Structure 1
Amino acid sequence: MRCVIAFDVSRKSSTMAAYNEQGNCEFEGRLIHSKTGFSNLSKIIKDLSEKNNYTLEFVFEATGVYSAALERFLRENNLVYYSLNPLLAHLNTQSLRRNKTDISDAHQLANNHFKNDYFQTYREDSYYEQMRTMSRRYDEIMKERIQYKNRLHASLQLSFPDFDTAFINKSKLYYNLVQVFPHPNLILKRSKTVIKNRIKKCTKKNYSLKKLEERAILLIEIAKDSFPAVDETDYSCELVRDYAKKILEMEEEQDEIIQRMTEMSKDRKEYRILRSFPGIKDKLACRIIAELGDLTRFKNNKQLNAYAGIDIVRYQSGNMEYKDRINKRGNSRLRGILYFMIVSMLSAKGKQINHLVDYYYKLKKQPYNKHHKVAVVACMNKFLKVAFHLIQNDLLYDYEKASSQQ
Structure 2
Amino acid sequence: MEGQPIANSPHTGRFRMTEYIGIDVSKQSLELWDGTQEGEVPNEKGLKTLKKLLKKRYGGEWNETVRFIYEPTGPYSNYLRAFAAEHEVQVYEVNPKKSANVAKVLGNRSKTDVVDTKMLSTFHALLTEEDFGVPEVDERAEQLGAELGSYEMIQKTRTMLANHVHSLEYKSGVTKKLKESLEKELGRLGAMEDQLEKEMEAVAEEHEETREDLNDLLSMNGVGVISAINLLYLS
Same fold flag (TM > 0.5) = yes
Q: TM-score range by the shorter chain?
A: 0.7 to 0.9
- 242 and 84 in structure 1: CA distance in 2 versus 1, 3 angstrom threshold: farther
Partner of 1:31: 40
- 48 and 263 in structure 1: CA distance in 2 versus 1, 3 angstrom threshold: closer
- 96 and 77 in structure 1: CA distance in 2 versus 1, 3 angstrom threshold: closer
Partner of 1:69: 79
Partner of 1:266: 205
Q: Flag structure 1 segments of 5+ consecutive residues without an equivalent.
A: 19-24, 159-229, 296-406
- 47 and 263 in structure 1: CA distance in 2 versus 1, 3 angstrom threshold: closer
Question: In the TM superposition, what is the alpha-carbon distance from 1:150 to its structure 2 partner?
Answer: 0.9
Length-normalised TM-score, structure 1: 0.46
Report 1:221-232 matches (<5 A): 230=172
Contact in 2 for aligned 1:17/1:29 (Cα 8 Å) = yes
**What amino acid does structure 2 have at the position aligned with 1:134?**
E
User: In angstroms, what is the RMSD of aligned CA positions?
Assistant: 2.7
Contact in 2 for aligned 1:31/1:38 (Cα 8 Å) = no
Contact in 2 for aligned 1:13/1:30 (Cα 8 Å) = no
Matched, 1:124 2:137: yes
1-side partners of 2:83 and 2:213: how far apart?
34
Partner of 1:112: 123
Question: In the TM superposition, what is the alpha-carbon distance from 1:133 to its structure 2 partner?
Answer: 0.7
Number of aligned residue pairs = 208
Q: Name the SS of the counterpart of 1:62 in structure 2.
A: coil
Partner of 1:56: 66
Residues 40-74 of structure 1, C-alpha deviation per residue, up to 9 Å, x if partnerless? 22332436859xxx743111122234433333322
1-side partners of 2:71 and 2:185: how far apart?
38
Question: In the TM superposition, what is the alpha-carbon distance from 1:282 to its structure 2 partner?
Answer: 3.4
Q: Name the SS of the counterpart of 1:57 in structure 2.
A: strand
Partner of 1:165: none
Partner of 2:94: 84
Partner of 1:287: 230
Matched, 1:97 2:110: no
Identical counterparts, % of pairs: 22
Larger Rg computed on CA atoms: 1
Instruction: Choose which of 2, 7, 12 in structure 1 pairs with 2:28.
Output: 12
Q: Which of structures 1 and 2 has the larger relative contact order (alpha carbons within 8 angstroms, sep 6+)?
A: 2
Q: Name the SS of the counterpart of 1:31 in structure 2.
A: strand
Partner of 1:43: 56
Contact in 1 for aligned 2:82/2:137 (Cα 8 Å) = no
Instruction: Choose which of 169, 172, 175 in structure 2 pairs with 1:156.
Output: 169
2-side partners of 1:250 and 1:79: how far apart?
41
Partner of 1:249: 188
**What amino acid does structure 1 have at the position aligned with 2:96?**
P
2-side partners of 1:135 and 1:9: how far apart?
23
1-side partners of 2:197 and 2:180: how far apart?
26
2-side partners of 1:157 and 1:109: how far apart?
56
Q: Flag structure 2 segments of 5+ consecutive residues without an equivalent.
A: 6-17
Question: In the TM superposition, what is the alpha-carbon distance from 1:28 to its structure 2 partner?
Answer: 1.3
1-side partners of 2:180 and 2:169: how far apart?
10
Partner of 1:336: none
Contact in 2 for aligned 1:151/1:243 (Cα 8 Å) = no
- 45 and 63 in structure 1: CA distance in 2 versus 1, 3 angstrom threshold: farther
Question: In the TM superposition, what is the alpha-carbon distance from 1:121 to its structure 2 partner?
Answer: 6.8
